[in-house]
Amino acid sequence: GNYGNYGYANSGYSACEEENDRLTESLRHKVTAIKSLSIEIGHEVKTQNKLLAEMDSQFDSTTGFLGRTMEKLKILSRGSQSKLMCYMMLFSLFVFFVIYWIIKLR
């Protein structure tokens, strides 16, 4: 009697152990996949950070260039107000005559 129960308990234990081994192996595969994904994500993050650093330096140089250009424009606008007004008047007259000519052709 006891031997039969002991044999039954052994076969149940063996089935549970096999199930645990199978689940452990499945979990090992999943952990390996997650590990490789996290390593790939780390490499991608490093690459993206490098790209962002390069873009930041390019934006800084562009900002400096635009700042110098604006300073030059300020100097130009301060130096010759009368010339600037003359050019604006000539441009306005030119636009007026072009519009007049377009209307006249219709």
DSSP secondary structure of 26-58: HHHHHHHHHHHHHHHHHHHHHHHHHHHHHHHHH
pLDDT of residue 4: 46
| pTM over 0.85, yes/no | no
pLDDT of residue 3: 47
Task: Note the pLDDT tens digit of each residue in 38-51.
Answer: 999 999 999 999 99
CA distance 69 to 66: 5
- Which residue ranges make up each domain of the chain? 10-79
